[in-house]
Amino acid sequence: MTQATSTQIQLVSRPAGWPVPQDFRTVTVDLPALAPGQVRVRNDFISVDPYMRGRMNDVESYTPPFALGETMTGGAVGRVVASTSDQFGEGDLVVHALGWRDLAQGPAESFSPVQEVPGAPESLYLGLLGMTGRTAYVGLTAVAGLRPGDTVLVSGAAGAVGSAAGQFARLLGASKVVGSAGSARKVELLTGRYGLDAAFNYKDAPVREQLPAVIPEGVDVYYDNVGGDHLEAAIDVMNRDGRAALCGSISGYNAEHPAPGPDNLHMLTTKGLTLKGFTVGFYQDRFPEFQQKAREWFTAGRLVYDETVVDGLDRAVEGFLDMMGGGNIGKALVKI
Amino acid sequence: MTQATSTQIQLVSRPAGWPVPQDFRTVTVDLPALAPGQVRVRNDFISVDPYMRGRMNDVESYTPPFALGETMTGGAVGRVVASTSDQFGEGDLVVHALGWRDLAQGPAESFSPVQEVPGAPESLYLGLLGMTGRTAYVGLTAVAGLRPGDTVLVSGAAGAVGSAAGQFARLLGASKVVGSAGSARKVELLTGRYGLDAAFNYKDAPVREQLPAVIPEGVDVYYDNVGGDHLEAAIDVMNRDGRAALCGSISGYNAEHPAPGPDNLHMLTTKGLTLKGFTVGFYQDRFPEFQQKAREWFTAGRLVYDETVVDGLDRAVEGFLDMMGGGNIGKALVKI
């Protein structure tokens, strides 16, 4: 296979607080001819996610930090344009972790074939039918141990993972699902389009003040995407044996200094509560079960979704920052 | 059975911060003749425990608050002096929850027969072989899921529950057991008499500074009796999939205002950590397993213990306050 050029986004300085455009640069890289067993993919969509903010810091975590002066990675979906591997042929749809570039190239093992679901757009294999959906599903099931009849609270419920978690909770038998979001429009979407039983705008008043009224039954399962004030307020109203799946804490990702935690952790003891953090990669054994359920639900027309798409790799940083600021509804994507 | 009088300790005002002797009073109560199916017990020891501080507040919890002007309850061991029940005869050794009095009386169902272990003093059925031991055992096993080879950290390791948890962890196969305590004498006891691998005095320097050096392998299981700075420091050094059993948080029991929590809860997500609070009463299904193991370990001479005993019901409040201030080593008891 011949050479080609790939346009890519790199991190050039580590943000202090909110990232700014100057922390990134766009480069054009010459891709060599494919070695044996390799694949070249033209990305159609790349995923921009809150966890990426953590990778911009120089802190070892479950994923290593982005290296300065190297192209950032992340979820992407696209089609094979060249292959020297017998695992993939031209035109195959694949997902992979080599985001933030238009053309991705590497060993075949770095790419996963998509088991297409009739009627689903490509982008959904990054979202509801992909990593986002898996994250919502394992958080509710393997991490929080959702049982039919449980009441469920989801923070950041209009976001990518949150909007999946709210719907999945209902489909898994929750008796009541309540969500938080950061605008009146999102709140209306949650109780309308997404079918949640109640929702509130966390910017209207302190979460701690609003929560008891929207879920007077108390919370059995809390799916936390926000942390901070949301986690503290949730602990207040969690029922005996309540379980929180801590997926992320976007409220703190851009903080320059660590903020103190909830002042009510003693309730973990008195109410027998569990806080369990997780990252989806450690629950791969649950992925096949998820894929089957998600396919069934989608095919039966029981899932809705929204996407917030910016057009063009040159707007990828803008799309990321907009998502961090809560500008997105549903999955945030960059269309290449 | 004839009438008798019982001397009892009552709570008369709710402490703000540290309790003072004026919050309590001693009364003499006339006990009526036994009704059918009742038992009268002369208490030999009553238990004074950190959780009782919580019951002095007017806050609904897993146990209701002590009522003002009524006799306080709590663990006690003693012998039957009169019985109209065919379940108990005079001289039987029983444990029960009617502490803070010299004579206890009530329906037979309120008392539990002691399955005596040869060589064990009566007081041990409140401590290592009783509720204290159960609390340590279920926290390590059912709550934290201790596995052979795990490293274990115990805070308040020279206290009643802590000194049991440290020893049980070792007997359950921990690869390393480390404890904290509040004096040089206690630290020496922990690494000497109690056989811990390392121990530190949390008053010498911030826990966060001391902990990495005493357990460079990181912590797989954290048994928390203290909360506050200890919990925060433990989260820092917990290993992937680490589990904390939150038994209590004596550091905050006398605080007049809630203190902020750990500033590093984001690590729950990145390291996949679990914080699980518990109270022993919800793990009764594990008690028979505990009783069998504890009997075996004690009989084989594999357990040591200390008790801090004040003599006389009139010194019960003193004994309680001394325990809250860390004056005890091992189980704190009042000898009647």
Helix H or strand E encompassing A300: none
Interacting residues of B313 by C-beta distance below 8 A, sequence separation 6+? B7, B9, B26, B46, B100, B101, B102, B334, B336
B137 with B275, same domain: the answer is yes
Domain-located, residue A144: yes
- Domain span at residue A192? 131-281
* Residue B294 belongs to some domain of the structure: no
Q: Which residues of A touch B272 (CB under 8 A)?
A: 62, 276-279, 282
Please give the average per-residue pLDDT across A22-36, as a whole number.
96
Asked whether residue B149 falls in the same domain as residue B244, the answer is: yes
**Residue-level pLDDT at B3:** 80
Instruction: Output the domain CATH number for residue A94.
Output: 3.90.180.10
Residue appearing with tokens 């709710």: B14
Q: What is the CA radius of gyration of chain B?
A: 20
Instruction: Check pLDDT > 90 for residue B251.
Output: no
Chain B residues with beta carbon closer than 8 angstroms to that of A244: none
- Check pLDDT > 90 for residue A228: yes
Residue B289 has pLDDT above 80, yes or no: yes
Q: Are residues B200 and B104 in the same domain?
A: no
Residue of A231, A266, A271, A273 to mutate when probing chain B, most B C-beta within 10 A: A266
Q: Looking at the predicted structure, is the pLDDT value of residue B332 above 90?
A: yes
Q: Taking all residues of chain A, what is their mean pLDDT, rounded to a whole number?
A: 95
Contact list in A for residue B240 (CB cut-off 8 A) is 62
In terms of domains, do A266 and A203 share one? yes
At B141, list the tokens: 């096993």
Nearest alpha-carbon partner for A124 in A257, A310, A309, A289: A309
Residue labelled with tokens 């019985």: B83
**Residue A288 domain flag:** no
Nearest CA in chain B to A61: B270
Instruction: Select from B49, B224, B270 the residue whose CB has the most chain A CBs within 10 Å, as the one to mutate to test that interface.
Output: B270
Nearest CA in chain A to B268: A277
Pairing mode, if any, of strands A24-31 and B331-335? Answer: unpaired
Query: Does B39 share its domain with B178?
Result: no
pLDDT at A34 over 90: yes
Chain B segment 32-91 residues within 8 A of A by beta carbon are: 54, 61-62
Nearest-CA distance A64 → chain B (Å): 11
| Per-residue pLDDT at B1 | 56
Determine the pLDDT at residue B250: 81
User: What whole-number distance in Å separates Cα of residue B11 and Cα of residue A255?
Assistant: 46
Same domain, B169 and B276: yes
Please report whether residue A289 resides in a domain.
Answer: no
**What is the arithmetic mean of pLDDT over A164-188?**
98
What pLDDT sits at residue A2? 77
Q: CA angle B249-B253-B255, nearest 5°?
A: 125
Give residue A1's pLDDT band: very low, low, confident or very high (50, 70, 90). low
**Greatest extent of chain A over all pairs of C-alpha atoms, in Å:** 66
- Examine the pLDDT at A97 and tell me if it is beyond 90: yes
The residues that bridge with A48 in the sheet, in sequence order, are none
Structural domains in chain B (count)? 2
Distance (Å, whole) CA A247 – CA B320 = 42
Judgement on whether residues A185 and A317 belong to the same structural domain of the protein: no
Distance from the Cα of A167 to chain B's closest Cα (Å) equals 22
pLDDT over 80 (residue B169):
yes
Does any domain span residue A293?
A: no
**Beta-carbon-side half-sphere exposure of residue B320 (alpha carbons within 13 Å):** 29
Verify that B183 and B106 share a domain, yes or no: no
Over residues B177-185, the mean pLDDT reads 97
B203 and B121 fall within a common domain? no
Check whether A5 has a pLDDT greater than 60.
Answer: yes
**pLDDT at residue B49 is higher than 90:** yes
ipTM of the complex: 0.94
**Does some domain include residue A216?**
yes
Listed by number, the residues of chain B in 236-275 with a beta carbon closer than 8 Å to a beta carbon of chain A are: 240, 246-249, 252, 258-275
What six digits make up the tokens of A236?
């207040």
The CATH number of the domain where A212 resides is what?
3.40.50.720
CB pairs under 8 A between A and B: 109
Contacts of B264 in chain A (CB under 8 A): 258, 261
Cβ neighbours of A272 in B, within 8 Å: 62, 276-279, 282
What pLDDT band is residue A295 in, cutting at 50, 70 and 90?
very high
**How much of chain A, in percent, has pLDDT values that exceed 90?**
93
The alpha carbon of residue B307 is apart from the nearest alpha carbon of chain A, in Å, by 25
How big is chain A, counted in residues?
336
* Claim to verify: residue A61 and residue A147 sit in the same structural domain: no
Q: Tell me, yes or no, whether A119 and A137 share the same domain.
A: no
pLDDT, tens digit, for every residue of B111-139?
999 999 999 999 999 999 999 999 999 99
For A41-66, what is the mean pLDDT? 91
Higher pLDDT, A125 or B250: A125
- For chain B, say whether A304 makes contact (Cβ under 8 Å): no
Question: What pLDDT does B252 receive?
Answer: 81
Whether residue A87 is contained in a domain is answered as: yes
For residues B99 and B194, state if they share a domain: no
Please state, rounded to an integer, the average pLDDT across all residues of chain B: 95
Best of A222, A275, A283, A284 to mutate (most B CBs within 10 Å, chain B): A275
Q: What pLDDT shows up at residue B249?
A: 85
Q: How much of chain A is in helix, strand and coil states, percent to nearest 5?
A: 30, 30, 40
* B301 in any annotated domain: no
Q: Say if residue A189's pLDDT is above 80.
A: yes
What pLDDT is recorded for position B254?
78
